Structure 1
Amino acid sequence: MATPADYQPPSSSAMKVRQNETQALRLLIAQRRWYRRAKRWLAVRWIGMIIIGLTAPVISVIWPSLAVAAGAVAGLWLFLGRTVLVLMQASITAKAAAVQEQLDFHIFGMPRTADRSTLPSLEEISAIAGPDDEVEAIAAKEELLDWYPINDADAGPVSVAIAQRANASYTDSLLRTTAIVWTVATAAWVIVLVIVSLLAGLSLSTFLLGIALPVLPAFLDVVQYVVGVWRSARDRADLARTIAGHLDGSAGPVQAEDLVVWQDRMYELRRAAPEVPDLLYKLKRKVNERAMTSAARQLSDKAKESGQ
């Protein structure tokens, strides 16, 4: 097994070519499709929670005798969501993270530092990515070419570090957007429930038993999810700042050993990260890609100024 000290990054021009090779595009398409499958399990979980959150209060107010039953259904769905659905989602996410790591290994010419039991077989990867003769067309259609902002003029270690930081910062932005959207939606949901209860003249006991109790499991699940998203975003921001410190020279130059350590950290973050809804990804993609490209150019200039 290779060690971090064995790693020597290839040239930037070589990496720029590698990321558009069929092998790299196959891995890129495969990991995106596995992430998409994981998001479907998340969607099932949240659709159930949304239905409970919207219908349980209505049922409890119209048919007070069903308040306890509504709370029981919410609790049961919470249990299923945190066991069966979460396990299915986590299993698929782990596959996607392992494939994404293989993509980075291929582009960066980086040695494996561990065997991932979650890495799908070559057959599974090929099956989900599609026929080999269609891979490039699929990648072009989904705008996946030139995945990382690699500058031919940069030294190999600098290009790898910029690509790693771009990935961390890009995902940080998506996660923060997701957290903000869910926070606003949850706050609005709570405010609406309180206002409707006041307008309906519900007593405190009716509100607690008929409104708060049935939706409490859904509310707690949302809160836990949002907290997890904020935590994951913060971890990526910390990694992005660490890498930027080495690129501008303030924390010392980029070393090959650093790149391998950061890559391992990226894998752990990807494997444990909450999923971002595809809709938010699509809405933010153009803006985030422009920002990523601009930041890459700035960091490239700073690396040159620091003698790297």
Structure 2
Amino acid sequence: MLRPEHCLRLLPATALAFVAASAPFSCPLSQPRRGATLLRLPHGRAPQLRGKPSSTLRAPAMPDAAVAPAPEMPQREVARALADQAVARLAPRLLPSAVPDDVAEFRNGAGNAVGSLDVRRGAPGSSIDFMLQSSLHCKVPNGAIDITSILIFLNAATDAPHFLLELIQGSPTSIVVLLDLLPRKDLSLHPDYLQKYYENTQIDEQRAKIEELPQARPYRSPSLFVRSAFSPTAVMVTIDCGQGGEGTLEEIVHGRLAAVAKEVLQIWLDCCAESTTAMDDIERDCLLKRDQIVRSKSIEVDLTASLPRMFDPDVSSHVISEIRKAFGLQEP
């Protein structure tokens, strides 16, 4: 159940554990499993998050009369712009979405939660493993939880970091921001990797631009695994504008946050997305094992524990199955 504090999703490197945000209410999510999945917001009147090249792949599902489309929110506009930025650069390296319609958009029988998921696999010969966009809108007694996420994972053609963005809003005046290039090596054992992707790119300057905001305070996940999986340059903050601060939060999201997220994504596109790395078999096996552990743990701990609490069993199992396919994991 949610506590009156921000609950960070359990496994950052999986991209699927969605995080619950602050508010003194209960929601069908667990604690250190505190993330459910990254589920995209419903289509309906709410604008799509997907990049333009895939926006015409399927018609919107008819919304359930009991569930109104999620309202448009600043963070979704920012995420949509980032998705367009990524797809504009990666389109030749991405396959069309193959997610079934009932996974692309889904809702629970109680009518208080709607979600959507889009996965585009990398084209043959590409270093892209998959690009995942997801959102969730869950109504709760005191308001709503809204989560928007973009994850772009690379395959074993490179050891470059993955890209992660999650924006979790649990009240009209506060939002949790998770933004990082997720390392795929132990940085203390590979100082050259730290220098190449984090020092030389000066990405830490982007973290500082967010943390210097007077409304920002560090977010500390209760999960040691999460804290160990992020890079030292990660943006992990709660932006809280206080009572009556709706307008201020919107300005920050559209302004400073949007600019920083765009710059971090551009750094990733320039330095990581098209890179290739010469590795021997042992190095490649270690890289694959690390990636698989993170993905598998996310599925086992987060999704199987959280989705069934929010959605009907047949819906949640179908969504989890599609996510396992995206992650390259076999059914248990």
Report the structure number with the largest CA radius of gyration: 1
Identify the structure with bigger relative contact order (alpha carbons < 8 Å, sequence gap 6+): 1
Q: Which has the higher helix share?
A: 1
